[in-house]
C-alpha cells in the first residue's frame, strides 16, 4: 500500500466517523427542536428527509448541521463509487492538502476559485 493510498484510507475513515457523528447530532437537534414528533419517527426517517427538514427549519445551528451533513454524505457516497478525491466539476484530482483540511472537499482548487460565486466550497 502506497503512502497516497494510506492517506486516502485515513481521510475516508475520518469521513465515516464524521458522518456517524453528524447523523447522531442532527437527529438529536431535531428532537430537541421538536421538528419531528418522536425519537422513533426520527430513527425511521431517511437521512435525506431529515436534511430537508433541518434546512427548511430556519434554525441557524440546525441549518448549518444539515449543510455539513449533506456535504459529508456526498463524500461518503463518492468513496463507495470509487470517485473519492476527484473534483465534482472537472474530475481532476483534488490536492491531498485540500482533502486533509476538509475530507469532504468536493472541488479542486481551480474549480473552487472558478465557481466560488456559484457554490459553497
Q: How many residues does the chain have?
A: 121
**Number of other residues whose CB lies within 10 A of the CB of residue 50:** 21
Extract the C-alpha cell encoding 32. 430537541
pLDDT, tens only, 4-47: 889 999 999 999 999 999 999 999 998 888 777 788 888 898 99
Cα separation of 59 and 69, whole Å? 15
Q: What is the pLDDT of residue 49?
A: 93
Q: What is the pLDDT of residue 35?
A: 76
Which among 3, 53, 5, 4 is positioned nearest to 29, based on CA atoms? 53
The domain limits of the chain are 3-84
Amino acid at each position: 500500500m502506497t503512502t497516497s493510498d494510506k492517506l486516502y484510507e485515513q481521510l475516508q475513515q475520518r469521513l465515516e466517523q464524521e458522518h456517524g457523528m453528524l447523523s447522531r447530532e442532527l437527529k438529536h437537534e431535531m428532537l430537541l427542536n421538536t421538528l419531528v414528533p418522536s425519537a422513533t419517527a426520527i430513527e425511521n426517517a431517511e437521512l435525506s428527509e431529515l436534511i430537508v427538514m433541518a434546512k427548511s427549519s430556519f434554525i441557524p445551528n440546525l441549518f448549518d448541521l444539515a449543510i455539513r451533513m449533506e456535504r459529508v454524505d456526498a463524500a461518503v457516497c463518492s468513496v463507495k463509487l470509487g470517485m473519492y478525491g476527484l473534483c465534482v466539476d472537472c474530475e481532476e484530482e483534488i490536492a491531498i492538502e485540500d482533502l486533509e483540511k476538509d475530507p469532504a472537499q468536493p472541488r479542486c482548487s481551480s474549480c473552487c476559485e472558478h465557481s466560488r460565486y456559484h457554490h459553497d466550497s
